[in-house]
Chain A
Amino acid sequence: MKILVVDDEKDIQALFEQRFRKEIRSHEMEFSFVYSGEEALAFMNDHIHEAVLILSDINMPGMSGLELLKRIKQRYENPPPVVMMITAYGDEENYQKSLSYGADDFLTKPLDFLLLKEKLKKIEV
């Protein structure tokens, strides 16, 4: 499974690579990283079938995670990639908005990697 991670924090890459090192080693999962919504859209143009999961930070400068979610769900209809939203402000408003835009799941920071791993594995099934 190929997963695109979108976050404006660069160290997120090192963290994911370590947290998912077993899965990466066993080629169970493959991660790509971009640092803004704009980059994510550009990346998905070139790797259209590879991006399966997007962990997007709602609270990003430039295009917000919500905007990115909306655009992805509009652009890739059949089948759209699974989008999980992560934000530091897990409030009702963002939750509802994410759901209405078609988010598949909703996670809050600090990220619980065990939970994320379980959720990712469920998608795989």
Chain B
Amino acid sequence: MSLEFIIIIIVVSYLRKRLQMSLTMPEWNRRFLWLLYGSVGLLILQVSVPRFNAVGNWISIAVLGLLLYIIYKEKVFESERFLVTALLPLLGVLLFEDTIILISRSFYDKWKSWIDPLHAFAVIWALGTWIVTRKQRSELKKAREKAYEEEQNNRIISQMKARLEVQVAERTAALTRQKEELEHTLTELKSTQAQLIQSEKMASLGELTAGIAHEIQNPLNFVNNFSEVNKELLEELKLAIDKGSMGEVKALADDIIENEQKINHHGKRADGIVKSMLQHSRKSTGQKELTDINALCDEYLRLSFHGLRAKDKSFNAKFKTDFDTAAGKINIMPQEIGRVLLNLLNNAFYAVNEKKQEGIQNYEPAVTVQTKKTGNSVSITVSDNGNGIPEKIKDKIFQPFFTTKQTGQGTGLGLSLSFDIIKSHGGNINMETREKEGTKFIITLPT
């Protein structure tokens, strides 16, 4: 039997290869080499010299035992300790077998049929352990590779995460800076807007001043004239009393009363004009109040007409009103709606005046203001028979700063402010225009 030496040769060869012993542990390698050569020599000896068989068996058992002991004991072979588990049963069986042979050859021969399966079992055990270990190792290797890969991935992920966090921080800082800049710009824009609105108001107030002067002068003239007349009438009254002509006294007194009523009426008219002028220059209170729509339209129509008239002496136009008495009073901010009306009316008068300059035969410039109550709303229509608005700028007229007038003549804010004012009243402003025929602006306000 030469199985032992073959096992030793296999185990030693396996270990040398497996552990790369020539590199990692040269001292043990040298010893194992001696062991290997020794085992090969002894194997040859055992095979070729039958008398040496028994001795060879005992040597081989001792060597194998020693080998297993070394594997078990030395730390460098720790990873290969499974060999002990795998081969110890076989070593035990061989030792048992050889001991029995040594004690009684006949006993061995008699029980050989029992010992052989033991032998086979030990070999199978050794092989099985070997195979299982190899399998476990390959699985372990795979798991380790997988873990390494995961670790690698995690490292990459955490690197990316760190990079991302830096980027996010940078972006956040940039965005915060931008937001602050935008907020600052917005504040500036708001204050500029407020200033522009105020200057637009003041500009329209300037346009109004002359119209207002005219409007105030007329009632004041009446007040002065009628009070002068009353003075004369009172002188006459005194004479009539002296004469004792009571009929004349009564007639004169009636005249004086009538004149006083006129004085009162025109005084109030001037008062109303001054009040509305103050309202116009005042910042809007934002308070809505019940306002007579027809009266408001009439007031601003006159203001607009006389204002333009005062600025340009050659200016003239017909204006017509078509008021629906059902329009009545609605809840609005009168100075705001007044500004819208003034703007639309000034534009209308401007348009008809432009057309008049062209010298068209039989052209009669005319501006009409119409009010109409329909269901839950009141509409105010300002129409002119000017040249209309060209198709290509139709969409732009409500945009801020858009103007067809020359620089310095218009802010381009009129219609955009009008639009905002009407929207803030929950209303609508629409425009209909026909080139060469005229333009209509229709304001619709909820009642």
List chain A positions with a Cβ less than 8 A from chain B: 9, 11, 14-15, 18-19, 59, 61-64, 67, 88-89, 91, 93-94, 109-111, 113
Contacts and interface: CB of A to CB of B under 8 A. Distances in A.
Given A14-B262, A18-B255, A59-B306, 20 more contacts: A11-B262, A15-B226, A18-B226, A18-B233, A19-B229, A59-B214, A59-B309, A61-B305, A61-B317, A62-B317, A62-B319, A67-B316, A89-B310, A89-B313, A91-B313, A93-B313, A94-B313, A109-B217, A109-B221, A110-B221
B266 interface: yes
B257 to A, nearest CB: 13
Contacts of B306: 59
Interface centre among B214, B226, B259, B313 (most CB of A within 10 A): B313
Interface string B303-346: 00110011001001111000000000000000000000000000
B188 to A, nearest CB: 43
Contacts, number: 56
B108 interface: no
Classify the interface of chain B: helix, strand, loop or mixed. Answer: helix
5 contacts: A11-B266, A18-B229, A63-B316, A89-B313, A93-B313
A91 B210 CA distance: 14
A93 to B, nearest CB: 6
Contacts of B318: 61-63
A101 to B, nearest CB: 14
Nearest to B226: A15
Interface in B43-84: none
Contacts of A62: 316-319
B350 interface: no
A88 B316 contact: no
B22 interface: no
B222 A15 contact: yes
Interface in B257-303: 258-259, 262, 265-266
B300 to A, nearest CB: 14
B152 interface: no
Contact of B225 (A19, A63, A93): A19
Classify the interface of chain A: helix, strand, loop or mixed. Answer: loop
A84 B310 CA distance: 21
B207 to A, nearest CB: 16
- Bin the interface of chain B by size: 20 to 34
A78 B370 CA distance: 43
Contacts of B233: 18
Contacts of A15: 222, 225-226, 229, 262
B308 to A, nearest CB: 11
B217 A14 contact: no
Contacts of A88: 214, 217-218
Sort A-B residue pairs by CB-CB distance and give the 3 closest, nearest first.
A62-B318, A110-B221, A18-B229
B224 interface: yes
Nearest to A12: B222
Contact of B259 (A18, A63, A111): A18
Contact of A110 (B217, B226, B265, B319): B217
B327 to A, nearest CB: 22
Interface string B197-222: 00000000000000000100110111
A111 B265 CA distance: 19
B319 A111 contact: no
Contacts of A91: 313
Nearest to B261: A14
A111 B310 CA distance: 19
B197 to A, nearest CB: 30
A54 to B, nearest CB: 18
A91 B312 CA distance: 12
